[in-house]
Amino acid sequence: MKQFEIHSLDELDRAAEFLCDNIGDHRIVALYGPMGAGKTTLVSAVARYLGSEDTVTSPTFSIVNGYDTADGDVIYHFDFYRLNRPEEAFDIGYEEYFYSGALCLVEWPEKIESLLPDDTLIVRITPTGDHSRTLSIEE
């Protein structure tokens, strides 16, 4: 397990760099953390680090948003919070996104754990104070 301590929002860009440096060949990144832990904020920093100029917002109602990177790639950002059962992910065609080869950043992956590919990168965001977090990466 690899960890990165975030002590303030000023360190968010370094946290995004740390995460991107550790993604390797993983295309699915599952972001675990309680409500308000900063999952969407981290996705925004990752998109910015990868050169996206798109505005990152939580896809709570749309379930998935796409952001273009500077390299012409796309990042898919999922928020499965509103799902009641994993099978509902089929309604949005999650497989087309997950197996597209694009980077997929998944909030609330516990809602669809049975559908996550075996090679999903697990990232845990643990609040340690008002503005501090521990970012843990598990393979």
Residue among 136, 101, 139, 102 at smallest CA distance from 118: 139
What's the pLDDT tens digit per position in 2-36?
999 999 989 999 999 999 999 999 999 999 999 99
* Domains of the chain, first to last: 2-138 (3.40.50.300)
What is the layout of strands, in order, in the sheet containing 28-32? 2-6, 133-138, 121-127, 28-32, 103-107, 74-79, 64-68
Cα(115)–Cα(98) distance, integer angstroms: 10
Of the given ranges (48-52, 58-62, 83-87), which has the lowest mean pLDDT?
Answer: 58-62
pLDDT for residue 65: 96
CA dist 50 to 43, 47, 99, 118, 127, Å? 11, 5, 20, 25, 25
- Is residue 79 within 8 A of residue 107, CB to CB? The reply is yes
Of the given ranges (60-64, 87-91, 102-106), which has the lowest mean pLDDT?
Answer: 60-64
User: Average pLDDT over the chain, rounded to whole?
Assistant: 95
What's the pLDDT tens digit per position in 116-130?
999 999 999 999 998
What's the pLDDT tens digit per position in 99-114?
999 999 999 999 999 9
pLDDT-based confidence at 60, cuts 50/70/90? confident
Is 61's pLDDT higher than 90?
no
Cα(107)–Cα(31) distance, integer angstroms: 5
Residue among 45, 43, 48, 52 at smallest CA distance from 105: 43
Is 139's pLDDT higher than 80?
no
